[in-house]
Chains A and B, each alone.
Chain A
């Protein structure tokens, strides 16, 4: 669905010499890239805000996994049908704003009265896991393929480019539905749930790589003309060294930008699959699954509001942090 941005790492920046003369004299002692990035990041309040939210989200996800699965104190699947309007048959939560109460701060789901907060909480880890791992998968495959296509050119490029076309043109939903319908429950000693999660990660990640592949390829095409590549070759560097040690670090910025855009896409993809009945198995909560459930009750917007908000906050945090990180990692940016 989404598109490969041809984002070059260097956005606005002053004359590179400016930094040269500015920093050159003052900071004599060496700083690693990590240190520099960290120094810059620290100054970027917005990015730090994003990072804090991400860390919080991860903590929440871990907490959710522990509290729900190990200690069983969250009850995301527990019904509260006594709080549902069965009398009139509307099956809507009793009370205002979707049944908000002390026990259920974000209200409850219609029909079964499950606590929305508990479900958002319990669903956080799966949603984040799928979104991030699928993104990582796309990025890894896309980067590898793109960099190889861009660097070697010729028939390798043609082959990979057309392969990207195949993947782009491929009816992903057909594949998803066909695959999910027939896959065994347990494989490689994983629980059915983990099998399903891995499957979704695989499908979502595996089919999104061409976007990132295209960007990386484009950037590589221009990067490989840079003289430092020749320099490495003249020192006797082999292909993999050039690809992954010389070129890859220079591709981080566009990849980051795209990866942060890919995260919401992937969360929504999971939700679309849920909507079509091939998502994570019920009753396990995921944000995408909640959205897809909520779409049947769009007359009760509170149901959608909270998972939507959770996704939005995640997306925003990742994007803000990604932008900041990109700027920080760019040694030339200032």
Chain B
């Protein structure tokens, strides 16, 4: 809902981009050359996030969500990834920037929360010292000051008794507390951009709910831009303002959260919605999985990457099999990459998909 106005007047075919937004990603391509061929993990991806807003990225495993976030953070291993395109953080292009300058931005201007907090924290250092370390890189303060700051942070993220828990090791924390400590670490320098890569996948529902609340509250407090990555549509529904659906390294649908759930336009999104059992709906007799398996990112299918799994692939002649669909605005800032005609989409959604959900 945030960028819609800005992009309305711009090139309608260009992906949603907001020149004033805090994070802008333009035509990002991340390719990994491997023995078997080039893995096109991310191909021609564009999006932007403004301060105070949350973008949710969904998509199944291997669709390039993590690669995207790591590219923003500049965390790909040296020499493994070929990154092209632009990543503008507050106007500065991170692609091609000297590694040391990117490093200085990490932690301070942009921070990241990882999926598995146990393996993402060093097992040999106390939680406190890991937060202190993060804080002291960007702030020239004494250890004592940093420690106070760490305790404050732990308190803020809801760790009971932070004064003593600050000296605990990660393994002494429960899963939820670890994720909170991770968040505290990410927030230690008040970053302007927070990327959360599957922050709750490893957690239980009750704890997940706590963490999602926490992220929401903290975002409101710090007014940061948040990118939340997950494959759980329920999670983004709770948090995101906008949602981008990815498939095979590309965005297939991008819109406000409400639109994605109320009037999704892309068959893949339909498939996602259809394959998950929902507590808020009547129990169905059978789930409707998307048939087939995700494509190899080395041999991305010709035409629409989703065509082998798409039930409507043949409806436009062999367009789906030969021409890569453009990612375009179909009105109201709702972008999709699909060859289906607007009325067909509408009809299918209304008549075939929606009733089954």
Please give the residue numbers on chain A whose beta carbons come within 8 Å of chain B beta carbons, in ascending order: 14, 17-19, 21-26, 43, 334
Q: Among the listed B39, B80, B294, which residue makes an inter-chain contact with A22, where contact means beta carbons less than 8 Å apart?
A: B39
Residue of A nearest to B61 (CB): A17
| Binding site secondary structure of chain B | loop
How far is A334 from B298 in the complex, measured between Cα atoms in Å? Answer: 15
With A22-B296, A24-B296, A26-B299 in contact, do A17 and B62 touch (Cβ < 8 Å)?
yes
Q: Is the CB of A22 within 8 A of B298?
A: yes
The 7 closest A-B pairs by CB, nearest first: A22-B36, A21-B296, A25-B296, A22-B298, A17-B62, A21-B297, A22-B296
Q: Is the CB of B296 within 8 A of A334?
A: no
How far is A18 from B298 in the complex, measured between Cα atoms in Å? Answer: 10
Q: Say yes or no for B318: interface residue by CB 8 A criterion.
A: no
Q: Is the CB of B298 within 8 A of A21?
A: yes
Q: Is the CB of B35 within 8 A of A334?
A: yes
Q: Is the CB of B299 within 8 A of A18?
A: no
Q: Is the CB of B34 within 8 A of A18?
A: yes
Interface membership of chain B positions 64-84, coded 1 if the CB is closer than 8 angstroms to chain A and 0 otherwise: 000000000000000010000
Interface membership of chain B positions 275-307, coded 1 if the CB is closer than 8 angstroms to chain A and 0 otherwise: 000000000000000000011111100000000
Q: Say yes or no for B332: interface residue by CB 8 A criterion.
A: no
Give every chain B residue within 8 A of A25 (Cβ-Cβ): 295-296, 299
Q: Say yes or no for B37: interface residue by CB 8 A criterion.
A: yes
Q: Among the listed A17, A22, A26, A43, which residue makes an inter-chain contact with B34, where contact means beta carbons less than 8 Å apart?
A: A22
Q: Is the CB of A21 within 8 A of B62?
A: yes
How far is A18 from B33 in the complex, measured between Cα atoms in Å? Answer: 11
Residue of A nearest to B37 (CB): A22
Residue contacts A-B, CB under 8 angstroms, 21 given: A17-B61, A17-B62, A18-B32, A18-B39, A19-B36, A21-B62, A21-B294, A21-B295, A21-B296, A21-B298, A22-B36, A22-B39, A22-B296, A23-B36, A25-B296, A25-B299, A26-B36, A26-B296, A26-B299, A43-B35, A334-B35
Give every chain A residue within 8 A of B295 (Cβ-Cβ): 21, 25
Residue of B nearest to A22 (CB): B36
Give every chain B residue within 8 A of A19 (Cβ-Cβ): 36
| Binding site secondary structure of chain A | helix
Give every chain B residue within 8 A of A22 (Cβ-Cβ): 34, 36-37, 39, 296, 298
Max chain A C-beta neighbours (<10 A), residue from B37, B295, B296: B296
Please give the residue numbers on chain B whose beta carbons come within 8 Å of chain A beta carbons, in ascending order: 32, 34-37, 39, 61-62, 80, 294-299
How far is A207 from B115 in the complex, measured between Cα atoms in Å? Answer: 47
Number of CB contacts from chain A to chain B under 8 A: 33
How far is A26 from B37 in the complex, measured between Cα atoms in Å? Answer: 11
| Minimum C-beta distance from A189 to chain B (A) | 53
| Minimum C-beta distance from A254 to chain B (A) | 21
Give every chain B residue within 8 A of A17 (Cβ-Cβ): 61-62
Give every chain A residue within 8 A of B35 (Cβ-Cβ): 43, 334
How far is A215 from B103 in the complex, measured between Cα atoms in Å? Answer: 38
With A18-B32, A21-B62 known, 7 other A-B pairs at CB within 8 A are: A14-B80, A19-B36, A21-B295, A21-B297, A21-B298, A22-B34, A22-B36
| Minimum C-beta distance from A17 to chain B (A) | 6
| Minimum C-beta distance from B93 to chain A (A) | 27
Give every chain A residue within 8 A of B294 (Cβ-Cβ): 21
How far is A43 from B294 in the complex, measured between Cα atoms in Å? Answer: 29
How far is A80 from B32 in the complex, measured between Cα atoms in Å? Answer: 64
Residue of A nearest to B36 (CB): A22
Residue of A nearest to B298 (CB): A22
How far is A37 from B138 in the complex, measured between Cα atoms in Å? Answer: 48
Give every chain B residue within 8 A of A23 (Cβ-Cβ): 36
Give every chain B residue within 8 A of A18 (Cβ-Cβ): 32, 34, 39
| Minimum C-beta distance from A41 to chain B (A) | 13
Residue of B nearest to A23 (CB): B36
Give every chain A residue within 8 A of B80 (Cβ-Cβ): 14
| Minimum C-beta distance from A4 to chain B (A) | 22
Residue of A nearest to B62 (CB): A17
| Minimum C-beta distance from A277 to chain B (A) | 49
Q: Is the CB of A14 within 8 A of B34?
A: yes
How far is A128 from B298 in the complex, measured between Cα atoms in Å? Answer: 46
Give every chain B residue within 8 A of A24 (Cβ-Cβ): 296
Give every chain A residue within 8 A of B34 (Cβ-Cβ): 14, 18, 22, 334
Give every chain B residue within 8 A of A21 (Cβ-Cβ): 39, 62, 294-298
How far is A334 from B39 in the complex, measured between Cα atoms in Å? Answer: 14
How far is A17 from B61 in the complex, measured between Cα atoms in Å? Answer: 9
How far is A21 from B40 in the complex, measured between Cα atoms in Å? Answer: 11
Give every chain A residue within 8 A of B297 (Cβ-Cβ): 21
How far is A24 from B299 in the complex, measured between Cα atoms in Å? Answer: 11
| Minimum C-beta distance from A16 to chain B (A) | 11
How far is A21 from B32 in the complex, measured between Cα atoms in Å? Answer: 13
Give every chain A residue within 8 A of B37 (Cβ-Cβ): 22
| Minimum C-beta distance from A225 to chain B (A) | 15
How far is A23 from B297 in the complex, measured between Cα atoms in Å? Answer: 11
| Minimum C-beta distance from B81 to chain A (A) | 11
| Minimum C-beta distance from A146 to chain B (A) | 25
Residue of A nearest to B80 (CB): A14
Give every chain A residue within 8 A of B296 (Cβ-Cβ): 21-22, 24-26
How far is A18 from B297 in the complex, measured between Cα atoms in Å? Answer: 9
Give every chain A residue within 8 A of B36 (Cβ-Cβ): 19, 22-23, 26
Give every chain A residue within 8 A of B61 (Cβ-Cβ): 17
